[in-house]
Structure 1
Amino acid sequence: MENKEALSAVEERLKSTKDRRMYERLQTIRLRLMSVPVNQIATIMCRSERTIRKYIHAYEKDGISGLIIRVSPGRSPRLTKAQRDELKRVIVNQVPADVGFTARFNWTLQLIVDYIERTYGRKYSLRGASKLMEHMDMSYTKPTYTLDAADSVKQKQFVEETFPALKKVEDGEIDHLLFEDESMIRDYQALQRTWFEKGKQRVIRTTGKHRGVKLLSTVDYCKGNIVWHEDEEYTAETFLNFLNKVLDVYPSGNITMVLDNARIHHAKMLETFLSKNKRLTFVFLPPYSPQLNIVEGLWKWLKGDVINNVFYHTVAEIRNNVRSFMESVMKEPQVIIDRLCVRMESDKIVEHL
């Protein structure tokens, strides 16, 4: 009876364990409780008889708890905390060439191993260095670009002062707060990761030519509405026609439009137009600050869903799919707000989506 209860307890634990090594140990004890000889268990489990006897002894001494794999404390770190902190600062803030590796500008595991040995006199394998990076909260990631000509002071001023001031939309001084931008949607924009057969790659056909459509769009920060327009070129006349379209969509109320410093946005002909349409006011973003324009998120969304990993034989195909995308997302303004619009908290932009 006692043996049956023990066997039942082991089998219950077998059903719940997710650890492969624990499963092996429990299976060993299960076979032993079923009176299978040690030498046969060793054959079944592909382990030595010595290992099998070790499992059995641990179980006989402490029960199932004796089979639990104890985590070894391991050796003490070869680098002190101060050394690890210093290493992290070097990798984050400098390139290998800055610390003596001639003409090397990207940190690899081998360079990290070489740097550690040269600087701290400690030897690491590539695998050891990889684990060290993981423990230091580092990861092997793809960098992103930022515009070198951007003025961080002006960007901070926009985030902390200019944009919060646009909350006048809440007290009636502004009725509509719109962000505006332009983008060229090409017939093949980029490749991005996608699910496919293991060991194979999806092949995207292309002619090597760059065809596409030119788009202009506004996103209503508060209501999630989109106004968009396609044209053959980007000129002051194109932009003026688009502004007239925006005014038609918003026939009443004061409009503040946040936009970048593209040349067409400063064209002379706009001065007369704006003087006649005083309910429309421009607020310009700091130069080279696309990350502050929420319409950039719309373009990224569009390209991800419609352009990336797709080859279009004709411009008409691009136009049709762009139109379908726009018409689809425009039906769900709350989704647009949630996905694109920045959130304000304590008069500051706290997130860019």
Structure 2
Amino acid sequence: MRIAHPSVAKAEGAEIHWGDETGLRSDEVRGRSYAPAIKTSEIRVTHRREGLSVISTLTNRGKVRRKAFAGAMNADILIDFMKRLVKDARGKKIFLILDNLRVHHTKPVKAWLAACANQIEASSLPPYSPALNPNEMLKATITAQAPSRAKDDLKKATVSHLRRLLNSPQRIMRYFQHPKLHDAA
């Protein structure tokens, strides 16, 4: 698979979307704690482990598309997400750049992409690419916050954060200004 060059995308009137997935857990502990001198600090964590997965794409124009779901990424979820991308593009072609997650290369995904080749074209970043996927910056902002302890709260907090990003394209465009992302801009 080739990675679309911006001039090719421009000539075709297409959008380049950088995609990635991430998993969030309610028992993850981040941040600082405090304890008086000579005492060990304690952070109480629920013993119920809740999880949430998110797939998202972003463009250097500040557009964000996302889907939150339970469980692990599979071909059906990825195809559904790509169908939504195509529908949202309103006739524009999409060049989708993904990492090398195994599900991206499954037979159902390849068959669906072949059937929709005039609407969407997917390509993969090289393994251990020195240039970060701009979506890694988005993942960092999502996971930097302290996780919610209940699954519904975790989903609400994540979706709320992604909605705020959806309404702030300037912030997304700034991700592409990071020195490690010069190739993606």
Query: Aligned partners of 2:168, 2:15: CA distance in 1, in Å?
Result: 18
Letter in 1 for 2:65: V
Query: Aligned partners of 2:30, 2:53: CA distance in 1, in Å?
Result: 20
Shift of 1:306: 4.6
8 Å contact from structure 2 (residues 131, 181) kept in 1: no
**Which residue in 2 is equivalent to 1:228?**
66
Partner SS, residue 204 of structure 1: coil
Output aligned runs, 1:155-304, within 5 Å: 166-168=5-7, 171-173=10-12, 175-193=14-32, 203-221=42-60, 223-233=61-71, 234-278=73-117, 279-289=119-129, 292-304=132-144
8 Å contact from structure 1 (residues 169, 177) kept in 2: no
Pair 1:315 & 2:157 matched: no
TM-score normalized by the length of structure 1: 0.45
Q: What 5-or-longer segments of structure 2 have no aligned partner?
A: none
Structure 1 consecutive aligned stretches of length 4 or more whose deviation exceeds 6 Å: none
TM-score normalized by the length of structure 2: 0.82
**Which residue in 2 is equivalent to 1:334?**
170
RMSD value, Cα = 2.9
Query: Aligned partners of 1:197, 1:329: CA distance in 2, in Å?
Result: 35
Query: Aligned partners of 2:129, 2:49: CA distance in 1, in Å?
Result: 26
Partner SS, residue 30 of structure 2: coil
Letter in 2 for 1:319: K
Shift of 1:334: 0.8
Partner SS, residue 214 of structure 1: strand
8 Å contact from structure 2 (residues 16, 94) kept in 1: yes
Query: Aligned partners of 1:293, 1:167: CA distance in 2, in Å?
Result: 15
Aligned length: 180
Q: Deviations over 1:164-206 (max 9, x none)?
A: x622256323520101111111113332347x68858874321
Closer/same/farther in 2, CA of residues 185 and 281 from structure 1, 3 Å limit:
same
Query: Aligned partners of 2:130, 2:153: CA distance in 1, in Å?
Result: 28
Closer/same/farther in 2, CA of residues 198 and 172 from structure 1, 3 Å limit:
farther
Shift of 1:288: 3.5
Greater helix share, structure number: 1
Shift of 1:247: 1.2
8 Å contact from structure 1 (residues 258, 285) kept in 2: yes
Letter in 2 for 1:168: S
Letter in 1 for 2:18: F
Letter in 2 for 1:330: L
Q: Deviations over 1:276-312 (max 9, x none)?
A: 21221112111134852111111110111352xxx51
Question: Which has the greater radius of gyration?
Answer: 1
Query: Aligned partners of 1:290, 1:182: CA distance in 2, in Å?
Result: 19
Q: Deviations over 1:229-257 (max 9, x none)?
A: 11223111111111111112112112111
> Identity, % of aligned pairs?
23
Partner SS, residue 84 of structure 2: helix
Letter in 2 for 1:328: R
Greater relative contact order (Cα 8 A, min sep 6): structure 1 or 2?
2
Query: Aligned partners of 1:253, 1:174: CA distance in 2, in Å?
Result: 6
8 Å contact from structure 1 (residues 169, 176) kept in 2: no
Partner SS, residue 298 of structure 1: helix
